[in-house]
Copies of this chain bind each other. A is one copy, B any other.
């Protein structure tokens, strides 16, 4: 096999550990100098490939690449750009192949969620159609934890840890205040279609009566009457009520409790504002004083309290992707396989991309309590190992020291510009 360059890109919403996968890819590829030449990273994801804006990662120091492991967000930039089908947008795929050819790229590592698994799969197909061989490997990443085949998705464990800790801390706050002040606290979490993140709030509880008293999942149709009854019961019993609500909480007919009315590049409704909506409901129907928080980006960028397990797995998946490529594989995705033993263990598995693309894994019903407001022991057993360990970044002057890359582009080789 002749030596080829590699292309790596980050896709979709970033996480606190996607750069750990990047470190895994780059450090592993650097060990395979016989087979892999330069590792070029897309500036702002796949857009960088289309625009021929390719970052030369060989210009980055060893220390900075290692430092990606403790650096949140996407160090090369990410994007929300969904590549349509070959029929709908042939020009984009042809452009990709053209850029890959020009830069002698034979490996395509795409680090993202469901949409990017789909793109990655298409690239592997198109490379065959267009007669230019590309080994396309997808590296899973999504805080939503909704990819199939893998036991969990890198990025999720850290957001889960953040949400569990924040729920516990805020719950202690309201517990101290509730006698004479706030009675209801609502934490709105991310999770449009799957309740994994909100579910993690359940890990805050240790014993009967502990917060959260209510978790709202997108998987369970919202019933205002039942919800308010539960809020009231919790305030009567414990003096206060803590609610962790997934932004994707919706009525039976699928209407989100709150939508700002705008949509993102993929046509998904842009959500936010569920917490104030619930607060208003509680206030007007029950009269309780409330507080609410919307964690938004804070939850997915909180590298300061990342799960050590998550960081390790994110790195290992990047590493595995390169090993798979070097072994001649394509159109696959390395996965996390959970061991069968009682004590948590995991190893790297492998899934074919044609099966991964566009499948969304929501919470199994048996991870959610019968009443729809909490997690079961089974759910807890699944979630708990994913938040294990603290992987603190280094600090200077009281602040975490995250890496800033040089992000130097390689010279363009194509005359044609491509508008994205």
Contact = CB atoms under 8 A, between A and B. Distances in A.
Contacts of A395: 390
A177 interface: yes
A350 to B, nearest CB: 27
A175 B71 CA distance: 13
A400 B176 contact: no
Residue from A298, A302, A399 with most neighbouring chain B CB atoms (10 Å): A298
Given A261-B266, A276-B272, A295-B293, A77 B179 contact: yes
A69 interface: no
Nearest to A81: B180
Given A177-B14, A294-B293, A304-B165, A280 B271 contact: yes
Interface in A1-52: 10, 13-14, 16, 44-45, 47
B176 A398 contact: no
A301 B271 CA distance: 26
Interface residues of A, number: 87
Contacts of A10: 176
B78 A265 contact: no
Given A389-B398, A392-B390, A172 B73 contact: yes
A73 B169 contact: yes
A168 B400 contact: yes
Contact of A273 (B169, B276, B300): B276
A402 B172 contact: yes
B261 A265 contact: yes
Nearest to A283: B262
Contacts of A165: 304, 399-400
Interface string A376-420: 000000001001111010010111101000000000000000001
Contacts of A303: 169
A269 interface: yes
A351 interface: no
Interface in A161-190: 161, 164-166, 168-170, 172-177, 179-181, 185, 187
A259 B269 contact: no
Contact of A259 (B78, B173, B265, B400): B265
Contact of A398 (B78, B172, B294, B388): B388
Interface string A183-222: 0010100000000000000011000000000000000000
A289 interface: yes
B301 A172 contact: yes
